[in-house]
Structure 1
Amino acid sequence: MIYLKRKIDDYLLAWKNDSNHKPLIVKGSRQVGKTESIMQFAEQNYENVVRINFVEDPKYKLITADGYSTADIIKNISRIDPSKRFTEGKTLIFFDELQEFPEIATSLKFFQIDGRFDVICSGSLLGISYKRIESNSVGYKSDYEMYSLDFEEFLWAKGYEASVIEDMLHHMVEAIPFNELEMTTFGDMFLDYSTLGGMPAVVREYIESGTFEGTLETQRQLLEDYKEDIRKYADGMDQTRILNVFNQIPVQLARDNKKFQISKVASGARFKDYRGCIEWLHDAGLINRCYCLNFPELPLKGNYNESKYKIYFSDTGLLVAMLDEEAQDDMRANRNLGVYKGALYESIVGEALVKSGYDLYYYKRDNGTLEEDFFLRTQKSLLPVEVKSKGGRSKSLKALINGDKYADIHCGLKLSAGNIGVSDGVYSFPYFCTFLLKRYLTQCNL
């Protein structure tokens, strides 16, 4: 089975080489590749790897029976499995499926103080129980959020080197349009990526076979696995309500007004009854929320309406898997991502921004037609981002740039199927450049 190079690879190596590194918790939703990447790193960099999986081997939940000290835990692990070796300075202890036994996080303080062994914890749906983990290990751990593959990692999987990525960024910084070959090559790969999503199992199947055969079935199985997680882990909450929200996301994204409306989820549904469901899905890493700004100005924090938002899946492959048969056929046969009224484009861009470290915000004026898809902030300004599923003018974008009321906005970004261009304060880029926006803004100082 081929290993897909991931961004966490470099992070883990830098973590190990930092003489002051703390125990590490790798968060992320199910099947984004956490265990595979950690084990790849561990086997290449440690003499001994002690992996404890609390789902496969629940008996290891007893290792804290004598307390949380390093000596007690190692003693109890050795009692369960005498073959495990603990060599000081050469051993990684990997606690996997942490969501099944979050209490082990209490031991991280003691491992940090002891210093003889490196420790990594990982698990799915960690956000659900993270308050317990945080209170048990605050100050004695580092965190890393892992997502499904972004487009850069997808390019790596296709065999492209870092120099190709740097050349793409150079085009953006210097405002040099891509040539026809580049537009076709990267555009086609981005369409493939958008159809597949970034789940490693789906991408690997596509890379190994060179076709889409079997990928839809894999996407749908992942979807069922996520729904099963909701049924399994949504303790003390209405699982049916959470599933209702989950199933409603594609339906509501298909509307012209993509704002998520609780009243449409079920008859008589009220915001106060469903708010916890949306929080659960977000904490589980299944969705991204995009809040409506009260007004397009800085700062963004606190300048939004908590009850007005759009909901996107954290991996667009989930949205693709939930499309109806006609939309599936249209998208795969005709390469038409315009299905669902541009929702796929918005979802893909929102996903890329989150994976780049941005929070999501949009704006829609209550008493007018002014509406903007996303906003990014730089050190000195607010940048509106317009996602165009079709060609045409960018009326809202230009109104924000030229309007006297929007003092923090001086220029804007447009993402479309078109080439690189700059006109009247609008910087245009192809969709496939979205993953590079953060690096572009850092270099260009807009």
Structure 2
Amino acid sequence: MIYQRKAYQRLQEWKQSNGRASMLIEGARRVGKSVLAEEFGRREYAKYLLIDFSQAPREVIDLFLHQRHDVDSFFRYLFAFYAFEPVERDTLIIFDEVQFCPQARAFTKQLVADGRYDYLETGSLVSIQRNVKDILIPSEEESLELNPFDFEEFLWALGERPLADLINSNYQDKQPLPDMLHRKAERLFREYMLVGGMPQVIARYVTDNSFMAADEAKRSILRLYRQDIEKYGEIEAKNIAAIFDEIPAQLSRHEKRFRLASLRKGARYQAYQASFFWLADARLINPCFRSTDPNIGLGMNMEQSAVKCYMADTGLLVTHAFSDSRSTKENVYRDILFGKIELNEGMIVENIVAQQLKASGHKLFYFSQSDANSSRMRVEIDFLLAEPYENAAGRYRISPIEVKSGKRYSTSSLDKMRAMYGKRIGTEYVLAPKPLVADAQGNRIQLPLYMSGLL
């Protein structure tokens, strides 16, 4: 089943560049990279050729290793092997799973310069050392990160486009949804939290109308990720697996910052830095770093060793949290959906907001400050964004975001942060399971969780 993805429009924009660069689609395994690339080739070109390097025969690999000096001969041999007849300037060649043949990625520099065809690459783990060693990464390469479905794409898949459009327009107008539609959006967002955004999981959920069927698909993906860690993690495999297994427990803690001491007494970030990078490059996690001085240019003031480790897909996190059993029954999911079973809502809700912000193109930062002698100095802000602030003539300010899983909450950290940093602070956001409310001054907005992807 093929669903509409927002990334498709980005590919259409790339196509208009008339072949001045190749396009690399990066993303986690099973996030839909190959499906997107092939659907784009089928709909937008007269012809397309997909070369899957994960199973390409030795003869094809040899062409990319030994025939790059003569582009004309390369094409003749390649097209003869696949019995393929291209249409010049209307053919897309897809290098699928290009990490298995890094030389093909380097070769796109010459192929793009040749100008006869367009080139899409798909890949996972394309930045780790083994996949960039001894190759020159072409400057004639653009990149697109394909994330799991965001909530809007999830609604499209469920046939709820009118509701998705209404949520979007009401967010722009800063108007709450009518109560009936607000309740519907909240219920569908909770479904989304449990199902997640992996395409084959959504397909199982839509086809079977079953959380248990979706759970089976998620367990299959988690097994694949564990196999990848063992196979491609190399000397870091043990540390990578230890971090990955510990994610639900770490996120269930109040402050959610990853404590390396839980892995090994006296552990230091430097010893695990490569493992965190591997997980981030595989798109299995969304790391969120502490900002030590909240200001424009958040990345310049981040503390890498103070990291929250969110899973890239919240549906996978839910299943990962229940990994001590062989399956999660339908009634368990239903009870969680309707709040009949106590689950760490804070963990799930904060992870889904991180997922939505990442899908919207934001890098993730948080802020925390503590004082052992005074609780009044304790500040915990879940996320920070740099964005234009209407009350400062559109100049950029820091927008702090607090995520609330319940309907009753305090905003003391937001109050303290504005008092501490004054004019640095722009619009404050509270994301909670409640309708939209904006104060008259535009300084603080309460948003329902289902609008988090619109920030």
1:240-319 to structure 2, matched below 5 A, reads 240-319=238-317
Query: Which secondary structure state, in structure 2, belongs to the residue aligned with residue 18 of structure 1?
Result: coil
SS class of match (1:276): helix
Residue deviations 1:49-88, cap 9 Å, x none?
211111122422111212255323313313533x122231
Aligned residue in 1 for 2:116: 116
Task: Give the distance between the partners of 1:158 and 1:252, measured in 2 at CA.
Answer: 32
Q: Which amino acid is 2:304 matched to? A: E
Instruction: Tell me the secondary structure at the aligned position of residue 238 of structure 1.
Output: helix
Corresponding residue number in structure 1 for 2:54: 55
1:302 aligned counterpart, secondary structure: helix
Aligned pair 1:345/2:349, yes or no?
yes
Letter paired with 2:379: L
| Cα separation, partners in 2 of 1:52 and 1:20, compared to 1, 3 Å | closer
The match for 1:10 is 9
Return 121-130 or 21-30, whichever deviates more. 121-130
Distance in 1 separating the partners of 2:6 and 2:79: 33
Q: Spell out the pairing of 1:38-117 with structure 2 (5 A cutoff).
A: 38-59=37-58, 60-64=60-64, 65-81=66-82, 83-117=83-117
Q: Could you give the per-residue CA deviations for residues 285-329 of structure 1, whole angstroms, max 9, x where no partner exists?
A: 111111111133333121121211100011112211112379966
1:384 aligns with 2:386: no
Shift in CA distance, 137/279, structure 1 to aligned 2, threshold 3 Å: closer
Q: 1:272 to 1:18 in 2, by over 3 A?
A: closer
Contact kept? 1:196, 1:203, Cα under 8 Å? yes
Following superposition, the deviation at residue 130 of structure 1 comes to 8.9
Matched residue SS, 1:260:
coil
Deviates further, 181-190 or 128-137: 128-137
Q: Measured at CA, do residues 199 and 134 of structure 1 come closer, stay the same or move farther in structure 2, by a change above 3 Å?
A: farther
Q: Distance in 1 between matches of 2:181 and 2:134?
A: 46
Aligned counterpart, 2:453: 435
Q: Distance in 1 between matches of 2:345 and 2:159?
A: 33
- Indicate if the aligned counterparts of 1:92 and 1:119 stay in contact, CA closer than 8 A: yes
* Residues 1:159 and 1:184: Cα distance change in structure 2 (over 3 Å): same
Q: Distance in 2 between matches of 1:347 and 1:157?
A: 21
Task: Give runs of aligned pairs for residues 410-429 of structure 1, distance below 5 A.
Answer: 410-423=426-439, 425-429=443-447
The SS at the match of 2:310 is: strand
Instruction: List runs of 5+ in structure 1 lacking aligned partners.
Output: 438-446
Distance 2:27 2:190 in 1: 25
In structure 2, C-alpha distance between the alignment counterparts of 1:28 and 1:130, rounded to whole Å: 17
Aligned CA-pair RMSD: 2.3
Q: Distance in 2 between matches of 1:296 and 1:348?
A: 23
How far is the alpha carbon of 1:166 from its aligned partner? 3.9
Deviation at 1:41, TM superposition (A): 1.5
Q: Write the deviation string for residues 199-225 of structure 1: whole angstroms up to 9, x where unpaired.
A: 001001111122323111111110010
The letter for the 1-side match of 2:413 is S
Name the SS of the counterpart of 2:298 in structure 1.
coil
After TM superposition, the structure 1 stretch with the greater mean CA deviation from structure 2, 422-431 or 101-110, is 422-431
Change in CA separation of 1:413 and 1:114 when aligned onto 2, cut-off 3 Å = same
Question: What is the rounded CA distance, in whole Å, between the counterparts of 2:417 and 2:40 in structure 1?
Answer: 47
Matches of 1:135 and 1:204, distance apart in 2: 38
Alignment CA distance shift 1:211-1:254 (3 Å)? same
Residues in 2 aligned to 1:179 and 1:362: alpha-carbon distance in whole angstroms: 32
Q: Deviations over 1:256-308 (max 9, x none)?
A: 22110111113453322211111111111111111111133333121121211
- The amino acid that maps onto 1:203 is I
Tell me the distance in 1 between the aligned counterparts of 2:101 and 2:114: 22
Residues 127 and 285 of structure 1 are in contact (CA less than 8 Å); yes or no, is this contact kept in structure 2?
Answer: no
**How far off is 1:22 after superposition?**
1.6
Name the SS of the counterpart of 2:366 in structure 1. strand
Moved over 4 A (4+): 325-331
Alignment CA distance shift 1:4-1:130 (3 Å): farther
Partners of 1:68 and 1:310 in 2: CA distance: 47
Residue 159 of structure 2 is aligned to residue 143 of structure 1: no
1:285 is paired with a residue whose SS is: coil
2:53–2:100 CA contact under 8 A, matched in 1 = yes
Aligned pair count reads 432
The CA distance in 2 between the partners of 1:52 and 1:410, in whole Å, is 49
- Quote how far apart the aligned CAs of 1:428 are: 0.6
| Deviation, structure 1 residue 427 | 0.1
Do the aligned partners of residues 147 and 410 (structure 1) sit closer, same or farther apart at CA in structure 2, a change above 3 Å counting? Answer: closer
Instruction: State whether structure 2 residue 185 is matched by structure 1 residue 167.
Output: no
- Select the residue among 355, 359, 373 that pairs with 2:382: 373
Mark the CA change 1:20 to 1:259 in structure 2 (over 3 Å): closer, same or farther.
same
2:424 aligns with: 408
Gaps of 5+ in 2: 372-376, 389-395
**CA–CA distance in structure 2, aligned partners of residues 343 and 304 of structure 1:** 23
Name the CA distance, whole Å, in 2 between partners of 1:338 and 1:146: 33
- Check whether the contact 1:290–1:309 (CA below 8 A) recurs between aligned residues: yes
Aligned to 1:398: 415
SS of equivalent to 2:446: strand
